[in-house]
Amino acid sequence: MTGPTVRAGAAEKASRVRLFLTDVDGVLTDGGILYDAAGLETKRFHVRDGHGIKMLQRGGVRVGIITGRTSEVVEIRARELGVGIVRQGAYDKVAAWREILAETGVPAEETAYVGDDIVDLPLLRVVGFAAAPVDAEGYVLDAVDYVASRAGGKGAVREIVEFLLRASGRWGEVTGKYFRPGEGG
């Protein structure tokens, strides 16, 4: 596996993040959508991404979801992770982001977004820190501050979270109970 692509200034931008927002399909999942015979939708989430979200929350970063699709599975996963900011059916993701900023009082430069496809580009261009999984569309990869070495639904969000926590100096505080003295992952 090759390492991530980290653009100049990415760590400084990441160090300011107080609100972390993410897309779902292709970011928290591998982008596949499964339907059973009754037409019920199923998605596969990676447990390490979920733990990364919990780590961010322990580090004082608010977490939210902005997705163009609408799915009960997303509501269930958000509840499970304690993610209270959920915007589904958001065809204008920048408008949804602006609403979230107004509700939370977080300035634009202190927000992050992880996206993977063309619909994410407008939002990726206006947040303080933009990131994508390695298997995002090429024009998305060109537009972000950080390209994870992992694919969507395969731990990309966790990798991005760890970068944010290290850049902000919160890594030790959030992970200290897991390592022996002198270790730090």
CB-side neighbour CA atoms (13 Å) of 178: 8
Please say whether the dihedral angle defined by the alpha carbons of residues 140, 146, 152 and 157, taken in this order, is positive or negative.
negative
DSSP state of 68: S
Per residue in 97-132, pLDDT (tens digit) is: 999 999 999 999 999 999 999 999 999 999 999 999
Return the exposure string of 73-94: e unless at least 16 CB atoms fall within 10 Å of the residue's CB, then b: bbeebbeebebebbbbebeebb
Confidence of residue 181 (pLDDT cuts 50, 70, 90): confident
Per residue in 60-97, pLDDT (tens digit) is: 999 999 999 999 999 999 999 999 999 999 999 999 99
58 C-beta neighbours (distance < 10 Å), count:
13
- Taking the model in full, what pTM does it have? 0.96
Per DSSP bridges, beta strands 19-22 and 111-114 are parallel
Per residue in 147-175, pLDDT (tens digit) is: 999 999 999 999 999 999 999 999 999 99
For position 185, what pLDDT does the model report?
67
Please say whether the dihedral angle defined by the alpha carbons of residues 10, 66, 96 and 138, taken in this order, is positive or negative.
positive
Res 143 pLDDT > 80: yes
Q: Quote the CA–CA distance of 99 and 96 in Å, as a whole number.
A: 5
Confidence of residue 2 (pLDDT cuts 50, 70, 90): confident
Mean pLDDT for 11-20 is 98
